[in-house]
């Protein structure tokens, strides 16, 4: 048995020469025909009891010239996203109070003239915040990420009116004959409305859409809550200078709270467009449907002080309704990766909801009673998001 020990450099030269004449060489039959190298001078002989059947030299040349791709997939990872910023909400205008003026030339029976109605503004500004935690399996299954998300938005407006005018607040639970009204001079009315929206759900994001790796389809079951609260407070003296009760205290407080729970499914398409080194634009459009159930609670409390006695009124009413609605949304992000795993995005989005609950309040003797109704809403937001991917 002839075993040759040669340095590594000599072995490479011998291998190159052997490959050039690969077609003329017979296949190796056992370990004795293999030329090998020994990194150490005292390397011992290979045992004769372990013969192997190596690849023919011709095929070995192909393996060296055309190495196969490794079958190792990227490792899975977790990520966390937090964000927030400015929000704008547009919904229906809700009745607040009615402003009057009067002609005091007739002291016993002044002539009352309607001036205008003050409503809660349909345009409200506020804030939004969102959080998402996701898992990227990276297993070649076609699922890019599984993400749990939540977001919340709040908006409010307050209105303090001129206390030198006269005001009236209306309330009714039934036909016009059941209406109550509080009228006051120097009424100092205070109006406040708050609306909050909360959404939570699951996003199942695909890796590509129509063989385009920059586009992806997402299936998103979701739930949410919409809450609206209104308050109209009137404090002043008895109305319009009647001689029967001049200048006596009068106050009224009317409130409403609407609470709606919803659940549905959203389908979204996302598209990425590279714009610079480690930066890209991401566009998202979505559409979905949902069911919703809402409860309304309305209260009235007023105190009228007359000469010799005080009248106090308390009323309350509850109602509920349910239905279905549709939603359509769009979002754009400018994402910049500052170092592996950390990225910051400027984000702007819009969400339209065809049916959310709101309060319809009594405006005068000819209007229906307080109740819960449906109306459409638009949410707009702009802010910043921070994403960190663990394991990058």
Q: In a 3-state reduction of DSSP, which class is residue 30? A: coil
- 142-161 average pLDDT score: 91
Q: Are 284 and 331 in contact (CB under 8 A)?
A: yes
pLDDT band at 246 (very low <50, low <70, confident <90, very high): low
What residues are paired with 252 via a beta bridge?
234, 302
pLDDT band at 326 (very low <50, low <70, confident <90, very high): very high
11 alpha carbon, distance to own chain's centre: 64
Question: What per-residue confidence (pLDDT) applies to 193?
Answer: 95
Question: What per-residue confidence (pLDDT) applies to 51?
Answer: 53
Question: What per-residue confidence (pLDDT) applies to 108?
Answer: 45
- 261-288 average pLDDT score: 95
Q: Which of residues 210 and 84 earns the better pLDDT score?
A: 84
Q: Are 261 and 296 in contact (CB under 8 A)?
A: no
Q: Domain 77-390, what architecture?
A: Beta Barrel (2.40)
Q: Which of residues 36 and 165 earns the better pLDDT score?
A: 165
Q: How far apart are CA 164 and CA 70, in angstroms?
A: 83
Question: What per-residue confidence (pLDDT) applies to 369?
Answer: 87
Instruction: Answer yes or no: is pLDDT of 37 > 50.
Output: no
Question: What per-residue confidence (pLDDT) applies to 114?
Answer: 61
Domains in the chain: boundaries: 5-65, 77-390
Question: What per-residue confidence (pLDDT) applies to 149?
Answer: 98
Q: Which of residues 276 and 106 earns the better pLDDT score?
A: 276
Q: How far apart are CA 345 and CA 329, in angstroms?
A: 19
Instruction: Answer yes or no: is pLDDT of 57 > 80.
Output: no
In sequence order, what are the residues at sequence separation of 6 or more whose Cβ sits closer than 8 angstroms to the Cβ of residue 162?
Answer: none
> In this predicted structure, which of 27-36, 67-76, 81-90, 111-120 has the lowest mean pLDDT?
27-36
> In this predicted structure, which of 115-124, 143-152, 220-229 has the lowest mean pLDDT?
115-124
What residues are paired with 104 via a beta bridge?
none
Q: How far apart are CA 253 and CA 314, in angstroms?
A: 10
> In this predicted structure, which of 106-115, 117-126, 180-189, 283-292 has the lowest mean pLDDT?
106-115
- 267-277 average pLDDT score: 94
Q: Using CB atoms within 10 A of its CB, is residue 175 exposed (0-12), middle (13-18) or buried (19+)?
A: exposed
Work out the number of other CB atoms within 10 angstroms of the CB of residue 316: 11
> In this predicted structure, which of 59-68, 112-121, 195-204, 308-317 has the lowest mean pLDDT?
59-68
- 133-153 average pLDDT score: 92
224 alpha carbon, distance to own chain's centre: 10
Question: Which run of H or of E encompasses 291?
Answer: strand 279-306
> Of 68, 64, 32, which Cα lies nearest the Cα of 49?
32
Rg (CA), the chain: 38
Averaged pLDDT score across all residues of the chain: 79
Question: What per-residue confidence (pLDDT) applies to 214?
Answer: 86
Q: Are 357 and 373 in contact (CB under 8 A)?
A: yes
Please state the length of the chain. 392
- Output the pTM of the full model: 0.75
User: Which two structure tokens, joined as six digits, stand for 71?
Assistant: 């079958």
Question: What per-residue confidence (pLDDT) applies to 383?
Answer: 98
State pLDDT tens for residues 99-136.
Answer: 876 555 444 445 556 678 888 889 999 999 999 999 99
pLDDT band at 337 (very low <50, low <70, confident <90, very high): very high
Question: What per-residue confidence (pLDDT) applies to 9?
Answer: 45
- 175-187 average pLDDT score: 71
Q: Which of residues 309 and 294 earns the better pLDDT score?
A: 294
Integer CA distances (angstroms), 91 to 72, 120, 123, 283, 379, in order:
53, 10, 7, 26, 9
Q: Which of residues 112 and 180 earns the better pLDDT score?
A: 180
Instruction: Answer yes or no: is pLDDT of 1 > 60.
Output: no
- 268-280 average pLDDT score: 93
Range 171-175 contact pairs with CB under 8 angstroms and sequence separation of 24 or more:
171/254, 171/298, 171/300, 171/315, 171/361, 171/362, 171/370, 172/362, 172/367, 172/368, 172/369, 172/370, 173/298, 173/315, 173/317, 173/369, 173/370, 174/369, 175/369
Instruction: Answer yes or no: is pLDDT of 27 > 60.
Output: no
Question: What per-residue confidence (pLDDT) applies to 177?
Answer: 62
Q: How far apart are CA 28 and CA 104, in angstroms?
A: 122
Instruction: Answer yes or no: is pLDDT of 11 > 80.
Output: no
Question: Which run of H or of E encompasses 331?
Answer: strand 309-339
> In this predicted structure, which of 58-67, 291-300, 340-349 has the lowest mean pLDDT?
58-67
Instruction: Answer yes or no: is pLDDT of 22 > 70.
Output: no
Query: Which of 107-121, 146-160, 255-269, 310-324 holds the top average pLDDT?
Result: 255-269
């Amino acid at each position: 048995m002839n075993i040759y020990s040669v340095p590594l450099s000599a072995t490479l030269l011998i291998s190159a020469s052997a490959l050039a004449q690969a077609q003329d060489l017979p296949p190796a039959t056992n370990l004795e025909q293999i030329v090998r190298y020994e990194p150490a001078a005292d390397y011992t002989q290979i045992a004769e009891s372990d013969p192997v059947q190596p690849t023919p030299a011709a095929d070995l040349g192909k393996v060296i010239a055309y190495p196969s791709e490794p079958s190792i997939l990227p490792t899975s990872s977790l990520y966390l996203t937090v964000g927030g910023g400015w929000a704008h909400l547009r919904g229906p205008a809700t009745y607040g109070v009615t402003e009057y003026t009067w002609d005091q030339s007739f002291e016993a029976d002044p002539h009352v003239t309607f001036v205008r109605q003050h409503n809660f503004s349909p345009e409200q500004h506020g804030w939004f915040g969102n959080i998402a935690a996701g898992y990227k399996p990276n297993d070649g299954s076609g699922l890019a990420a599984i993400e749990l998300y939540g977001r919340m938005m709040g908006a409010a407006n307050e209105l303090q009116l001129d206390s030198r005018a006269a005001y009236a607040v209306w309330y009714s639970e039934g036909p016009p004959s059941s209406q109550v009204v509080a009228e006051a001079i120097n009424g100092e009315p205070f109006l406040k409305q708050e609306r909050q929206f909360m959404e939570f759900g699951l996003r199942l994001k695909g890796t590509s859409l129509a063989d385009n790796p920059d586009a992806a389809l997402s299936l998103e079951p979701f739930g949410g809550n919409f809450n609206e609260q209104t308050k109209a407070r009137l404090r002043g003296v008895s109305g319009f200078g009647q001689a029967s009760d001049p200048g006596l205290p009068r106050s009224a407080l009317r409130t409403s709270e609407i609470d709606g729970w919803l659940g549905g499914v959203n389908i979204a398409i996302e598209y990425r467009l590279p714009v610079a080194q480690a930066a890209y634009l991401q566009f998202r459009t979505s559409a979905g449907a949902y069911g919703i159930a809402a409860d309304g609670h309305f209260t009235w409390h007023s105190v009228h002080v007359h000469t010799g006695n005080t009248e106090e009124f308390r009323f309350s009413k509850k109602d509920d309704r349910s239905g279905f609605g549709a939603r359509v949304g769009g979002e754009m992000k400018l994402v910049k990766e500052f170092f592996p795993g950390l990225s910051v995005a400027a984000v702007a989005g819009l969400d339209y909801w065809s049916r959310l609950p709101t309060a319809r309040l009594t405006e005068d003797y000819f209007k229906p009673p307080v109740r819960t109704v449906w109306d459409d809403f638009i949410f707009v937001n702009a802010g910043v998001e921070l994403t960190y991917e663990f394991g990058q």
